[in-house]
């Protein structure tokens, strides 16, 4: 472990010379540093990842996992054997056997593959032959924050690196003008989005996700101070580089080279980030395809920006869409959420495909869990509780075999029952498409080797080409 690997916030604060704020440096990172290798462990099928994270938990039985038996037995108590040792997040423990609740939404088959998709996703359904739908994802975590941590870091506890950070650590940057890992948010804030969801954890902070803002400066603390021109900033950087190079010659301290690269990336991003966030040069047809409204932040806008990020060389883009926690009024809330994301997701897949980018971009869709096949509440405001025991995610592009359904839940959609997929399997598969062996992508911390998949994880080879 080199001293570069142990670079701390305090060291950077005391040695940065005040040229750019600590917050900017911590968020922006260097173009090169502590990655395992710039070479994959084996040939990759994907160069980029776009992770569409539906924060709050979309209902699998209302979107991608039709359950005829659930419909037939609507309103009946769920058999006790299905909920033995099951703990609900919000359904009272006094409700011994909650009633089954059928989906109010119709399912139909789509594409040559005949994948069944709910009427909530008519446009995504048109892309069914590109999707590998995983219906047997499961975990044991039923509260939001630890569940989101698990889906992002492989551990429900705060403090571990996210998948995007592992990808940055393993592969480094593809461009000198943007970080390897960016994050954008949208939607109705029913739960907070914590910065730990895109944290680098114990990895060097250069691998942390950079949040791009919807309004104002795209990145906080990146702009020059008032009355400091770009030419003056360039002169300052040149002087700092000259001084740092002399110091490096004298000490051979690798922290100095890392700092130089951090400053250079920040300088390049002052131009590149605003350019990427500006949609003025996109055609009216493209904006209409995504459903982008002029000057209005939205998931649609973020999807279009994600395509632009891929084109610019960003490796890992994560879009968080909030508002999926439908404990009540599920019919209205899920209809609203799906309307907001259906067209943009289909447009993103189609646009990437038309530009020849889908083949090298892995797109992942899902939330931190699904929602219960049993009812929460009653009347017209009924909803569904958190449900980690069996839920749906899907992947597309990046070497994924489209038109595929893998795994299944039981007749009610309660438990994953066939070809169960652990969260670590999702991570192992995503890393595999990038040419990374999840068992070899490790980082030594506190005396032991850590990895994204901890001590488990299997690549889901049946969904890969």
Any idea which residue has 């570069």 for tokens?
4
pLDDT tens profile 289-339: 999 998 889 999 999 999 999 999 999 999 999 999 999 999 999 999 999
The Cβ of residue 182 has, within 10 Å, a number of other Cβ atoms equal to: 26
As a dihedral over the C-alpha atoms of residue 393, residue 395, residue 401, residue 402, rounded to 10 degrees, the angle is: 80
Any idea which residue has 């088959």 for tokens?
109
Reported confidence tier of residue 269, pLDDT bands at 50, 70, 90: low
What's the half-sphere exposure (Cβ side, CA atoms, 13 Å) at 382?
A: 17
* Mean of pLDDT over the chain: 88
Q: Catalogue all structural domains in the chain, each as residue range(s) with its CATH number.
A: 3-463 (3.40.720)
User: Residues of the chain with pLDDT > 90: what percent?
Assistant: 71
Reported confidence tier of residue 240, pLDDT bands at 50, 70, 90: confident
Beta strands per DSSP E along 302-428 = 316-322, 361-366, 370-371, 386-387, 391-396, 404-406, 408-409, 416-418, 421-422
Please give the Cα distance from 196 to 194 (Å, whole number): 5
Closest CA to 259 of 313, 228, 267: 267
CA 295 to chain centre: 24
Supply the pLDDT for residue 11: 41
Burial of 260 (0-12, 13-18, 19+ CB in 10 A): middle
pLDDT tens profile 28-55: 433 333 344 457 899 999 999 999 999 9
Contacts of 53 (CB under 8 A, 6+ apart): 148, 151, 152, 318, 319, 320, 321, 366, 367
pLDDT tens profile 342-390: 999 999 999 999 999 999 999 999 999 999 999 999 888 999 999 999 9
pLDDT tens profile 94-105: 999 999 999 999
Please give the Cα distance from 305 to 302 (Å, whole number): 5
Reported confidence tier of residue 271, pLDDT bands at 50, 70, 90: low
Mean pLDDT of 141-145: 96
Whether 205 shows a pLDDT value over 90: the answer reads: no
Supply the pLDDT for residue 270: 67
Q: Are 164 and 200 in contact (CB under 8 A)?
A: no
* pTM, to two decimals: 0.87
Reported confidence tier of residue 268, pLDDT bands at 50, 70, 90: low
Between residues 297 and 255, the one the model is more confident about: 297
The Cβ of residue 311 has, within 10 Å, a number of other Cβ atoms equal to: 13
Reported confidence tier of residue 216, pLDDT bands at 50, 70, 90: low
């Amino acid at each position: 472990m080199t001293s570069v690997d142990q670079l701390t916030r305090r060291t950077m604060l005391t040695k940065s010379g005040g040229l750019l704020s600590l917050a900017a440096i911590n968020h922006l990172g260097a173009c090169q540093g502590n990655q395992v290798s710039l070479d994959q462990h084996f040939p990759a099928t994907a160069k980029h990842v776009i992770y569409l994270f539906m924060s709050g938990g979309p209902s699998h039985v209302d979107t991608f996992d039709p359950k005829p038996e659930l419909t037939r037995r609507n309103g009946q108590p769920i058999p006790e054997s299905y909920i033995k040792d099951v703990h609900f997040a919000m359904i009272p423990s006094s409700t011994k056997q909650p009633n089954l609740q059928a989906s109010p939404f119709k399912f139909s088959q789509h594409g040559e593959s005949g994948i069944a998709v709910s009427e909530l996703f008519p446009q995504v359904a048109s892309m069914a032959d590109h999707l590998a739908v995983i219906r047997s994802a499961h975990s044991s975590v039923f509260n939001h924050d630890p569940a989101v941590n698990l889906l992002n870091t492989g551990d429900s506890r705060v403090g571990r690196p996210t998948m995007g950070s592992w990808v940055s650590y393993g592969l480094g940057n593809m461009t000198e003008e943007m970080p390897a890992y960016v994050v954008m948010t949208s939607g109705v804030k029913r739960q907070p989005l914590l910065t730990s969801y895109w944290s680098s954890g114990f990895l060097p902070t250069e691998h942390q996700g950079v949040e791009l803002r919807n309004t104002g400066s795209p990145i906080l603390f990146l702009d020059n101070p008032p009355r400091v021109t770009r030419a003056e900033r360039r002169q300052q950087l040149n002087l700092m580089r000259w001084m740092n190079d002399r110091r490096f010659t004298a000490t051979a301290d690798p922290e100095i080279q890392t700092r130089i690269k951090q400053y250079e990336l920040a300088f390049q991003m002052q131009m590149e980030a605003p350019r990427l966030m500006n949609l003025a040069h996109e055609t009216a047809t493209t904006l209409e395809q995504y459903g982008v409204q002029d000057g209005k932040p939205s998931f649609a806008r973020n999807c279009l920006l994600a395509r632009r990020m891929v084109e610019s060389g960003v490796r890992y883009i994560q879009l968080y869409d909030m508002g999926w926690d439908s404990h009540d009024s599920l019919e209205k809330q899920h209809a609203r959420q799906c309307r907001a994301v259906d067209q943009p997701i289909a447009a993103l897949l189609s646009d990437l495909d038309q530009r020849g980018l889908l083949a090298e971009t892995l797109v992942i869709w899902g939330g931190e869990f699904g929602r219960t096949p049993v009812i929460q509440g009653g009347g017209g405001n009924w909803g569904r509780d958190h449900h980690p025991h069996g839920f749906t995610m899907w992947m597309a592009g990046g070497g994924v075999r489209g038109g595929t359904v893998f795994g299944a839940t039981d007749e009610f959609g309660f438990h994953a029952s066939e070809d169960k997929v652990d969260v670590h399997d999702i991570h192992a598969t995503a890393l595999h498409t990038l040419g990374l062996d999840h068992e070899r992508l490790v980082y030594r911390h506190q005396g032991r080797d850590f990895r994204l998949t901890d001590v488990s994880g299997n690549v889901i080879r049946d969904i890969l080409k």
